[in-house]
Amino acid sequence: MANTNNKAKKITTIATLGSHCALQVLKGAKDEGFRTLLVCEKKRVGLYERFGFIDDMIIVDKFSEVAGDRCKAALKKKDAIIIPHGTLISQMSSDEIEKIETPVFGNKWILRWEADREMKQKLMEEAGLRTPRPVQSKDKISGLCIVKLHGAAGGRGYYLAWNRESFEEGAKRLVQQGMIRGEQDLYIQEFIRGVPVYLQYFYSPVTKSLELLGVDRRYESDIDGIGRIPAKQQLGAGGEPSYTVVGNIPLVLRESLLDEVYKMGESFCRAAERLVKPGMPGPFCLEGVYDSEGRFTTFEFSARIVAGTNLYVDGSPYSGLLYDEPMSMGRRIAREVKMAKRKNCLSSIVT
């Protein structure tokens, strides 16, 4: 940590990879007075050149070069900190991420817990979050279930089943498509009936407080389009839905739910502190469903900024309660770096 503290002591530039939420992050950094740097794939330079708040670019062929010597040297020269986001996680292994020598905002060790299904489940349980009940075998299916592939990326191949027959029918289709070898590659979870909600938090080690900065839901193709196909036509035409994230829709929650929202966020931070030091500094997200009793079941978490925060470049209904300026999640990150510099405690927010 002494080393971490040392390497981060004079951060003047905020850097990130050119995708996911880079625009929001660098806009926020600029608003807080930092220089901004984008690690940008060659093919995307044209896009990012449009935005005046990006001061510098390092152009790469692929994002994993961010850990290489050329980027490292350039980032060091600029006294840069990297803001990790979903693209970093999807383009680099946990091993590669942990070896990044440039200062990384937040806890880079926790990203492995996000990427690994079993570690993820362990952390959610440690936090006392309600998670979907696993269904032990196809004979135990009662009510709607979601069938998932071990180790599958995104939601590819997932299907809904409600009894043994519909489970087997789906498995057969996946075998025919060459996506699985057999039923042993599948596992079954209860399907939680309800509405999807994504909770966007920020935990500040500097102020020791948790902030809810926004709420959204994803906009997924084609699952969010099938409701626009009447039942008769759905049944006639057949087809299985997919869950490709296309964007996000803004939401607010009933105020009576907020107390539990904060409690879940705090439990998550404390669990992270116990399981993976230094814990959960910075942005994170709990992702789940509210059922008809108003209970939240958590499916996933993201231990870093999520793309749903892109809705709130100019602040959200929740950030408006906490800040008198437009406070995006990207700007909040930059604000935290600034505060930590002033208080000489950068080591608490950098790994």
# of chain residues touching a copy of itself (CB under 8 A)? 89
Residue with Cβ nearer a copy of itself (89 or 276):
89
**CA–CA separation, 161 and 142 (whole Å):** 9
* Min CB(71)–a copy of itself separation in Å: 20
- Please indicate if the annotation marks 102 as binding a ligand: no
**Which residue stretch of 171-179, 193-201, 274-282, 336-344 sits at the interface with a copy of itself (rule: CB under 8 A)?**
193-201
CA distances from 202 to 5, 39, 99, 133, 271 (A): 21, 24, 25, 28, 15
CB 333 within 8 A of CB 211: no
- Does 13 participate in binding a copy of itself (rule CB under 8 A)? no
**CA–CA separation, 105 and 88 (whole Å):** 13
> Distance from first CA to last CA of the chain, Å, rounded?
8
Question: How is residue 78 written in tokens?
Answer: 């600029």
CB 344 within 8 A of CB 94: no
Q: Which of residues 211-270 bind a copy of itself (CB under 8 A)?
A: 215, 217, 219-237, 239-242, 244-259, 262
* Min CB(149)–a copy of itself separation in Å: 16
Question: How is residue 108 written in tokens?
Answer: 């880079």
CB 17 within 8 A of CB 83: no
- Does 194 participate in binding a copy of itself (rule CB under 8 A)? yes
- Please indicate if the annotation marks 87 as binding a ligand: yes
- Please indicate if the annotation marks 248 as binding a ligand: yes
- 15, 21, 29, 89: which one binds a copy of itself (CB under 8 A): 21
Q: Which of 13, 150, 132, 2 is nearest to 83 (CA)?
A: 13
- 11, 15, 27, 350: which one binds a copy of itself (CB under 8 A): 27
* Min CB(9)–a copy of itself separation in Å: 31
- Does 314 participate in binding a copy of itself (rule CB under 8 A)? yes
> Please, which residues have CB within 8 angstroms of residue 293's CB and are 6 or more apart in sequence?
none
Q: Which of residues 114-173 bind a copy of itself (CB under 8 A)?
A: 143-144, 160-163, 166
Q: Which of residues 57-96 bind a copy of itself (CB under 8 A)?
A: 87
Residue ranges at the known binding site: 20, 87, 220, 248
Feature table: binding site for ATP: 220
